Structures are given as structure tokens and as C-alpha cells.
Amino acid sequence: MGRSAVAAVSAARAQRAAATADPPTRPLLVFGLGVYFGVALVKSEAASWFRIQEMFRFESFHMYGILGSAVVVAGLSVALIRRFGLERPGGGPARIEPKEPGNVTARLAGGFVFGLGWALLGACPGPIYALIGSGVTVLVVGLASAVAGAWAYGHLRDRLPH
């Protein structure tokens, strides 16, 4: 077998592997889960600018209770899923891929910049979408600004410490 044929076979194999690794999109289901999350963001008031200020001022347990119990429930669920070896749709184990542990600077600096914005806008990305839906239409401008921020990061990436 010639070199190009070998390359073609391995490319086809890689393509197949990538295809099976892709779960089906299931748009209605994913949309429904989004609705569920959006309702929870509004009804928990995690989408409230006031709650974010209250959190950063340490004047109520509310937001810490939400985040803490969400982390515990998510952590226990993921551990149970692993314990029982459940699979994701499309095959393969249902697990959270570990994030690259390196990039200490990027995590801290990026996190810091995000925190500045979170306290100014009073909304992280999920609540931006939920608030737009709830009628705080000015957050369309907030969303456009956030997209611009992501765009700027994408173009400055090579020049930032990582």
C-alpha cells in the first residue's frame, strides 16, 4: 500500500472516530433543557444584579447556597454516573473531560477580568440570555459587548500570557 493510501485510510479512520464521538444534536431536547435552566436562573434570582451585589458584599447566604448546592448535586450526579458506567448518547462514557490543569495565569487573570465584568453588569453569560428573554432588552447590548469581548480575546490570544 502506498503512502497516500495509508494516509487516506488513517484519515478515514479519524473521521469515523470523530463522527461516533459526536452525540446527536437533539435540538428540541436541548432547547427544553435551556428553558429549564433559564427558568431556574430567573426564579432563583441568580440573574438579578441586586443578588450579585449582595453576594460580593457577603450580606446574604442566598447566592452561596445556590452555587454550593448546585456544585454538590452536580458533583454527586457525575460521580454516580461514573460509578454506574453510564454512557452518553452516541456512545462513550458520560463524563466531564478534565480541563487542562496548566495555564495558571490564564485561569487567574481571565477569572479576574470576568469577575470585574460580572460585578459591573450583574450578570454572567447565562443570566444575560435569561434577562433578555425576561424583557431587560438593553442586555442585547450587553450580549453584543460580551461577544465583542470574546472576539477581542480570540484575536489577542497569542499575545496574552497563558
Partner 1 sequence: MLEQPWPWYVAGPLIGLIVPLLLLLAGREFGISSSLQHICAATLPGEAEYFRYDWKRKGLWNLVFVAGVAAGGFVAGWLFANPDPVAIADSTRSALAAMGVRDFSGLVPSDLIGWSALLTLRGFCAVVLGGFLVGFGARYAGGCTSGHAITGLATLQPASMLAVAGFFAGGLLVSWVVLPWLL
Residue 10 or residue 77: which is nearer to partner 1 going by CB? 77
C-alpha–C-alpha distance, residues 42 and 46, integer Å: 6
Least distance between partner 1 and beta carbon 5 (Å) = 26
C-alpha–C-alpha distance, residues 134 and 161, integer Å: 38
Least distance between partner 1 and beta carbon 37 (Å) = 5
Least distance between partner 1 and beta carbon 9 (Å) = 22
CA 142 to chain centre: 18
Residue 10 or residue 69: which is nearer to partner 1 going by CB? 69
Residue 6 or residue 71: which is nearer to partner 1 going by CB? 71
Residue 6 or residue 29: which is nearer to partner 1 going by CB? 29
Q: Using the CB atoms, write b or e for 92-129: b if 16+ within 10 Å.
A: eeeeeeeeeeeeeeeeeeeeeeeeeebeebbbbeebbb
CA 144 to chain centre: 18
Least distance between partner 1 and beta carbon 105 (Å) = 9
